[in-house]
Amino acid sequence: MTTTAPATRRWLLAGAALVAAAERVGVALPAGVGPELDDDTRPLALALLEQGGGCDAEAVLAPDLAAGLEAGAAPVAVVELTVAPVSGAVSPGRSWRAWYVLGERTLLALLQRDDSPLLEVVAAVPTALPGELTRLVSALPTGPGVGDLPPTVVPLAALSQVPREGADLTALAEATGTPTGQLLVAARVAEQAQQTLQVLVTGHPRAGATPVGSLLWYRLPRGWVSVVAVPDGTDRRPVRIAPVAPGQLPAQLAPLLVGAIG
């Protein structure tokens, strides 16, 4: 048995250049990627595409780029990842937006950091997805460790209602039926969170794009914590808050993608 080495190609393109390339292939990019082009901006976008190496000397779109963009023609699943600062954070870190478009035969990954004017465009075979996810995750801050937050189950409302400062935990405890000790953990997340990492997985079955699952992480001063639903059949909608290492992201994403792929 042999494994075929994945063919991975990368470009750094302005958003408009990427849109121009997608237009040439006749595919749509994920919502939020690049600007809309019009007759005035399209020539400039094409110039940027050529300057960015997306075309050869004869202005023909690079075959590998075209092949990668084909993923957008009939995506199996799209993973949209956003790393954003929490308002008022002391150490907000870098922000990221990334899209992984999994087509039947190709993977198209689009990565952008907040301080970069260029999108990194990756065209690869579908099996490159875990590696590409890991590559981005490795760029995330880890903190000194996985943190000292004890794994705790709280109602989702505790996270959505605990204010960042001055939380009235007693009132919230009564309203949600949650022990104050558990709410203290939620309050600590609310007070100390510096960044959020949100992943939305969209499946593309016959019915069209469908949001099918999400991940939510918060970065505290000592490291990341994940928020995972642990339904108990009640409307308390409990979630488990637990320390997590950035390297665990692909594994946490796996079940979502398994479902999207079938």
Residues in 179-218 that interact with other proteins by CB under 8 A: 189-190, 193, 196, 198, 200-201, 203, 205-207, 210-214, 216, 218
Residue among 16, 78, 81, 101 that touches other proteins (CB under 8 A): 16
Contact (Cβ atoms closer than 8 angstroms) between residue 157 and residue 151: no
| Residue 229 touching other proteins (CB under 8 A) | yes
Token pair 């665990």 in the structure block, residue: 248
Contact (Cβ atoms closer than 8 angstroms) between residue 131 and residue 118: no
Q: In angstroms, give the least distance from the CB of 145 to other proteins.
A: 20
Question: With CB under 8 A as the contact rule, which of the stretches 54-62, 125-133, 141-149, 170-178 interacts with other proteins?
Answer: 125-133
237 to 256, contacts with other proteins by CB under 8 A? 237, 239-240, 247, 250-256
Question: With CB under 8 A as the contact rule, which of the stretches 54-62, 141-149, 156-164, 169-177 interacts with other proteins?
Answer: 156-164
Residue among 52, 54, 68, 147 that touches other proteins (CB under 8 A): 52
Contact (Cβ atoms closer than 8 angstroms) between residue 128 and residue 110: no
Question: With CB under 8 A as the contact rule, which of the stretches 54-62, 112-120, 142-150, 171-179 interacts with other proteins?
Answer: 112-120
Kindly report the backbone phi and psi dihedral angles of residue 111, in degrees, each rounded to the nearest multiple of 5, phi listed first.
Answer: -125, 135
Strands in 103-220 per DSSP E: 107-113, 119-124, 152-155, 195-203, 210-220
C-alpha dist (Å) from residue 208 to 77, 104, 212:
10, 15, 12
Q: In angstroms, give the least distance from the CB of 169 to other proteins.
A: 15
C-alpha dist (Å) from residue 9 to 2, 121, 248:
22, 8, 25
Q: In angstroms, give the least distance from the CB of 181 to other proteins.
A: 19
